[in-house]
Structures are given as structure tokens and as C-alpha cells.
Structure 1
Amino acid sequence: MTANTRTDDRDAEKYFTASQWQLVWTRFKRNRPAFIGGCVLLFFVLLSLFAEFVAPYSGLSGEKDTKYLAGPPQIPMFCDDAGCSWRPFIHEATHRYDVIAKSFEYKVKERKGEPVRQYLHFFVEGGDYRLFGLIPANIHLFGLEKPRDKIHVFGTDQSGL
């Protein structure tokens, strides 16, 4: 018997003595699309467990942003017409309701001809929540400097949420 035959025998023995879960896990690891899909699913499950921490503010009606009704998404950026920054920021915006077009018009606030930036900060204090329904906390993953200012990564609806 050669060394290769012994290793083949050991591999065959591992296969025949493996539990059902070991067999499933082996096939799962070999199927690349299934493995990637499982990792994405695991990411979303973990994200949902820490949703209060990840969200910059709670979605309760008491925290409506009445200054930003039906607003477009505020995408964090690093560069604009005024230059680039190492810290991500959004532009401060003002809005007015156009009666003829029946829609809100948003304009970027300017100071001295340059857009007003609001810088994103990480691990900021915000609204109170209970992590896993047990641990009281008020730290959020990201947010703006002043707790009353809000960032709307996905925009807002007519009610300001």
C-alpha cells in the first residue's frame, strides 16, 4: 500500500462516518453561490439584531423631521465643489413647497458661496433604546454632531419619517 492509498482510505472513512450536518456543511462550503448567499443572510440577521444601534435615530413619530418632508436621500460624500474632506459629510438643505408643481423643492444652503457641510460622526449619542430589549443605551453607530439634526440616507416620506 502506498501513502496515497492510505489517505484515500482515510478520506473515504471520514465520509462514511460523518454525521448528516457534517455532510451538509461540506457540500454547502463547496457550492460557492450558496455559501455567498448564506453569508449575506447571516449579515442581515446580525444587522437586524443590532438595528437600534445601527440606525442614526429611531423611527418613532415623535422624532419626525418636519424640516425635511418628502426629501431626497442624503448620501454621505467626501468631495464637493468646495473641495474634499477625510470625514464624510452631507449638505444642509432648505426646502419650500411649490404650489404650482405641488412638490417640495430642495436647495443646498450656502455660506460665502460654498455649500454648508454637516459632518458625520461615529458612535454619537442619540435617542434612548434598549439593546435586545434589555440593555439601556443611547449610542448610535453614526449620526450628525447635534442630536436634533438628522441624516436621511434613504430620504423621507410626506410625514418626515
Structure 2
Amino acid sequence: MKAQASMSWASQSWLAWALLSALFAALTAIFAKVGVEGINSDLATLFRTIVIGIVLAALLAATGKLQVTAGIGPRTWLFLVLSGLATGAFWLCYFRALKLGEAARVAPIDKLSVVLVAIIGVAFLGEHLSTRGWAGIALIAAGAVCVALG
């Protein structure tokens, strides 16, 4: 019973998913750094993207969540396409940075995205951060710069 309760928490908690995201982002940087050693970084990005597409299609098919797209509105399509374009640009830049630099220095600069998300979220999405939240954002920025330059 206890295992079922904790499994339920893990499946519903944004924090659990965010921590897993951080773990997989770290593994992505390490695996990509090794993976781009003998190949063009853009070609490596293409191979990675193909793998992601296959895995996601299989996951959606296996869970019965692969659906017809007719019910998806134009605004949703627009922002999903924009997100896809931004993701593609991110991957191309990230893999190029990993090809040229050390993973331990590239990854912290990549995490400046946290700072940018906070600023953009407040400016354009109406989100709010407390003073303590902004202090954390400032520390993230300072930490990323210190690691990258240190």
C-alpha cells in the first residue's frame, strides 16, 4: 500500500518530473559530448531527433495516447510548431557547443535558460516570483557564469 501511495505521488508531482528532467538533461550532456566526438554536430542532432521521434511514437502507441490531430486548434498548432523550431535551434546550438567546449562548462551556460524563462514568464505570461525567487534566479545566473568562466 505504501509503495502504491509513493508511486501515485511520483506520477503526479511536478517536482518528481522536474528532478527526472534534470537527471536526463545531465545524461544528455554527457552522452552527447561523447557522441559528437567523431561526427558533425548537426548530423548528431539529426540522429538524436530520429531516436526521439521513434521512442515517443512507440510510447504514445503503447499507451493508447496517439490521437487524430483534427481536434487541435490553430493556436495550439502555432505554438507547438514554434516550440519545435526553438527546440531544433537549441539542439543544434547545444550540440555545436558540446563539440567545441567542455560539457562541464557548456551545461551551466545552457542553464541560463532558467533565468530567461523566469524573465519571459513574468514579462509575457503574467507569472510572479517572490523576492526569494528572484534571489534564486540571480544565484543561478551567477553560478552559471562562475562555473563557465572558472
Q: Which of the five TM-score ranges fits, normalised by the shorter chain? A: under 0.3
Q: Structure 2-normalised TM-score?
A: 0.25
The structure where strand makes up a greater share of residues is: 1
- The structure having more radius of gyration, on CA atoms, is 1
The structure where helix makes up a greater share of residues is: 2
